[in-house]
Amino acid sequence: MKITGGCDCGHVRYELLDKPMFVNACHCRWCQRETGSAFVINGVIEATNIKLLNNEPVTINTPSESGKGQLISRCPKCQIALWSSYGGSGPCIKFVRIGTLDNPDQFPPNAQIFTASKQPWVTLNPDIPSFEIYYDMNELYPPESLKRREALKGEIEKWRARQD
């Protein structure tokens, strides 16, 4: 299964070399502000599983609720956000905007997070686990995804050590 995506203008195109480890629909106020929408759908994936097919995105450091910032990678021409990285795992893990995939229907959310701040008119799907804030990854991630995340632990720790 080939998983491709890109920005609106087609300047940046990419391929995911594996399916996302997990997909979140985030209803936090930060995501609402950054997207101008009620929520964002992000696929959590290893940075090494994103292959650029043409042209580099630009990375913009934006504030985040954690205070550690968020690096958002955007097309330099149309400015569409393609993915982001957060302070917890740095550049090792990317949060791919599922809406930038050519076939976003392939990856519905596995969980809905930060629902305490969801827009009141949004109705949550009862078939998708929902959390007022966040969840315990060890309880929700499938075993294969936990293995993939565990494989990144050393790389994430090295990155964190360089930040201190």
Secondary structure (3-state) at 30: helix
Q: Can you tell me the distance from the alpha carbon of 116 to that of 37, in angstroms, rounded to the nearest whole number?
A: 16
Structure tokens at 72: 């958002």
pTM of the entire structure? 0.92
Percent of the chain scoring above 70 in pLDDT:
95
The C-alpha angle 62, 57, 150, rounded to 5 degrees, equals 75
In the chain, the domains with their CATH numbers are 3-163 (2.170.150.70)
Q: List, for residues 55-75, the tens digit of each pLDDT value.
A: 999 999 886 666 667 899 999
